[in-house]
C-alpha cells in the first residue's frame, strides 16, 4: 500500500517539464542522482526503524523520540499536510494530462467529478481500498512497462512506416539545454532546474517504503509470537533495499526512454512555456502516428493520477488519525464509522482538495507548477528532518553505549547528501 501511491505519480507529467528545461542528458543525470539520494534517505530512515519499529510508522513517532516534542509535532504535521496537498496535485496533473489547460466551467466540472471519486472512495471500507490499491499499482506498473516497450519499438523503427529514431534527439536539438545563461553555466543551471522538476517523482518515497517494511515486519513478528516461534532478524533493511531498487530502476529506464521519445524544444512539453504539458510518451506516440495508442496512454496516465490521489488521501488521513491515537492531535479525529473509516480525519484531509480548483481561475499548467514547488519543498524539509532524527539517534546510541540492530555501510556518510537538494530548491523557487 505504501509504495503504490508514489509509483508513476511524477514520472508521466513532471518529467516532461524536466526534459523541456534540461534536455535528455540532464534528465538522465537527475534521475540517477535522485535514485541514489532515495537509497541514501531510505537507509537513513530504515536504520532507525529497524532498531525500534513503530505501528504508526517513522513519519509520526521518531521525531518525538529523538527530537523535542515541538519538533516531533512539526514534522508529523508537515508530513500530514504534505500528503494531503499531494491530492490536489494529482487531480491537477490529471487535468494537464487531458490537455485541459485553459480556465472555464469545463475545468470545474471535471475537477468536481475527479474529486468526488477520490474523496468518496476513501469513505468505503479499508478492505476495499487496500484490495483496489493492489489493482491500481499493477495498472501503473503495467503502464510503465508498456511505455518502455513502445519506446524501444519506436526507437528501433518498429512503428509502421516510420524511421528509426534511436537517440537522434540527443544530437538534435542536443543532450543538454541551456537555462538562464549560455555555455557551461547555462547547462549547469538547466541541470539544477531539471533536478528540481524531476524530484517530485521521488518525494516521500523513502519514508513510505520504510513504513511499508515496518508494517510487514510487525505483522510477521505478531504471527511468529502467536505460533510460538523464535524471533528472527529484522527484514526491514532487505525489504527497504529491494523496494528502492524496484522503484528506481524503472524510473531510470523511463528517463532514457523519454529522452528518445520527444525533443526538449517540443512546445507541448511545457504548454508553450506556460507550465506543465503533455507526457513525453504521449508526444512520442503522436509523432510516430501510432493509431489508438496515444488515447490509451492518456487514459492510463489519467487513471494513475486518480488512483494516486485517492491513495495519498488515505495516507494523510491515517497519519492524522495516528497522531490523534498517540495523543498529539484532537481525540475526535479517531472517530470511525461502522466500516472502520476515520471519517473526521478523512474529511479534514480532504479539505485540501479545494486547492485544485485554482485551475478555474488560472491555467492548470501554472497551478501544477505552484503545487509542484510546494510538494518538492515539503519533501526536502521532510528529508532534512529525517536526517536530524537519524543523527540524534546515532548520538543517543553512542552515548548510552548501545549497538543498533542494523547498520548500513553507506551510513552515516550518506546522510550528508540529503542536504544537497536544498540549494536547487531555493534556486528554483527564486
- The answer to whether 277 touches 270, Cβ cutoff 8 Å, is yes
Q: What is the pLDDT of residues 370-407, one digit of tens each?
A: 898 899 889 888 888 888 888 889 888 889 888 888 88
Q: What is the pLDDT of residues 288-305, one digit of tens each?
A: 877 777 888 888 888 888
Q: Which helix (H) or strand (E) holds 258?
A: helix 236-261
Q: Residue 292 and residue 56: Cα distance in Å, rounded?
A: 45
pLDDT of 425 over the 60 cut:
no
pLDDT confidence of 423, banded at 50, 70, 90? very low
What domains does the chain contain, in order, with CATH numbers?
Answer: 4-429 (1.20.1740.10)
Across 251-260, average pLDDT? 88
Torsion of CA 32, 210, 230, 402, to 10 degrees: 90
Torsion of CA 19, 21, 22, 24, to 10 degrees: 20
- pLDDT at residue number 1: 44
- DSSP state letter for 389: H
Cell of 278: 503533455
Q: Average pLDDT over the chain, rounded to whole? A: 84
Between residues 312 and 142, which one has the greater pLDDT?
312
- The answer to whether 385 touches 78, Cβ cutoff 8 Å, is yes
Q: Residue 325 and residue 331: Cα distance in Å, rounded?
A: 7
Q: What is the pLDDT of residues 167-199, one digit of tens each?
A: 888 888 888 999 888 989 999 999 999 988 888
pLDDT confidence of 424, banded at 50, 70, 90? very low
- pLDDT at residue number 120: 92
Cell of 185: 553555466
Q: Residue 395 and residue 195: Cα distance in Å, rounded?
A: 32
The three-state (H, E, C) secondary structure of 74-91, written as one string: HHHHHHHHHHHHHHHHHH
Q: Is the pTM of this model over 0.75?
A: yes
Nearest of 351, 395, 334, 287 to residue 118 by alpha carbon? 351
Q: Residue 317 and residue 83: Cα distance in Å, rounded?
A: 9
- pLDDT at residue number 135: 82
Q: What is the pLDDT of residues 101-153, one digit of tens each?
A: 777 777 888 889 999 999 999 998 888 887 887 888 888 888 888 888 888 87
Q: Which residues of 382-407 are buried (b: 16+ CB within 10 A; e: fewer)?
A: bbebbbbbbebbbeebeeeeeebebb
DSSP string, 10-75: TTTTHHHHHHHHH-HHHHHHHHHHHHHHHHHHHHHHHHHHHHS--TT-HHHHHHHHHS-HHHHHHH
Cell of 338: 461502522
pLDDT of 341 over the 80 cut:
yes
Nearest of 1, 3, 418, 415 to residue 209 by alpha carbon? 3
Q: What is the pLDDT of residues 148-166, one digit of tens each?
A: 888 887 776 655 555 666 7
Q: Residue 363 and residue 104: Cα distance in Å, rounded?
A: 9
pLDDT confidence of 430, banded at 50, 70, 90? very low
Amino acid at each position: 500500500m505504501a509504495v503504490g501511491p508514489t509509483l508513476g505519480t511524477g514520472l508521466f507529467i513532471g518529467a516532461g517539464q524536466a526534459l523541456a528545461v534540461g534536455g535528455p542528458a540532464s534528465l538522465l543525470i537527475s534521475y540517477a542522482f535522485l535514485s541514489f539520494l532515495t537509497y541514501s534517505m531510505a537507509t537513513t530512515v530504515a536504520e532507525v526503524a529497524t532498531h525500534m519499529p513503530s505501528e504508526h510508522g517513522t513519519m509520526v513517532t521518531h521525531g518525538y523520540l529523538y527530537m523535542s516534542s515541538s519538533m516531533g509535532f512539526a514534522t508529523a504535521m508537515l508530513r500530514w499536510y504534505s500528503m494531503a496537498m499531494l491530492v490536489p496535485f494529482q487531480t491537477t496533473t490529471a487535468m494537464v494530462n487531458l490537455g485541459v489547460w485553459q480556465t472555464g466551467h469545463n475545468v470545474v466540472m471535471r475537477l468536481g467529478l475527479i474529486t468526488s471519486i477520490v474523496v468518496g472512495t476513501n469513505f468505503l471500507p479499508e478492505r476495499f481500498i487496500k484490495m483496489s490499491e493492489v489493482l491500481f499499482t499493477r495498472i501503473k506498473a503495467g503502464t510503465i512497462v508498456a511505455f518502455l516497450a513502445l519506446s524501444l519499438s519506436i526507437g528501433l523503427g518498429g512503428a509502421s512506416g516510420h524511421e528509426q529514431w534511436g537517440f537522434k534527439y540527443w544530437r538534435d536539438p542536443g543532450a543538454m539545454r541551456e537555462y538562464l545563461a549560455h555555455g557551461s553555466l547555462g547547462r549547469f543551471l538547466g541541470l539544477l532546474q531539471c533536478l528540481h522538476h524531476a524530484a517530485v517523482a521521488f518525494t516521500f518515497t523513502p519514508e513510505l517504503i520504510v513504513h511499508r517494511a515496518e508494517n510487514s515486519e510487525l505483522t510477521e513478528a505478531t504471527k511468529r509470537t502467536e505460533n510460538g516461534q523464535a524471533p528472527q532478524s529484522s527484514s526491514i533493511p532487505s525489504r527497504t533495499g529491494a523496494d528502492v531498487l524496484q522503484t528506481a530502476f524503472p524510473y531510470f529506464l523511463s528517463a532514457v526512454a523519454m529522452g528518445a521519445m520527444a525533443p526538449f524544444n517540443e512546445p507541448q512539453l511545457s504548454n508553450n512555456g506556460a507550465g506543465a504539458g503533455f507526457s513525453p510518451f504521449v508526444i512520442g506516440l503522436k509523432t510516430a502516428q501510432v493509431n489508438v495508442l496515444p488515447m490509451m496512454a492518456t487514459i492510463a496516465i489519467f487513471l494513475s493520477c486518480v488512483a494516486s490521489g485517492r491513495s495519498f488521501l488515505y495516507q494523510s488521513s491515517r497519519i492524522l488519525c495516528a497522531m490523534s491515537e498517540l495523543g498529539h492531535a484532537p481525540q475526535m479525529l479517531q472517530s470511525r464509522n461502522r466500516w472502520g473509516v476515520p471519517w473526521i480525519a478523512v474529511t479534514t484531509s480532504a479539505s485540501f482538495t479545494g486547492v485544485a480548483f485554482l485551475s478555474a481561475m488560472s491555467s492548470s499548467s501554472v497551478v501544477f507548477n505552484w503545487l509542484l514547488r510546494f510538494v518538492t519543498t515539503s519533501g526536502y524539509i521532510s528529508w532534512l528532518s529525517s536526517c536530524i532524527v537519524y543523527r540524534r539517534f546515532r548520538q543517543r546510541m553512542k552515548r548510552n553505549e548501545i549497538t543498533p540492530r542494523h547498520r548500513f555501510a553507506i551510513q552515516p556518510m550518506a546522510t550528508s547528501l540529503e542536504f544537497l537538494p536544498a540549494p536547487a530548491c531555493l534556486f528554483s523557487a527564486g
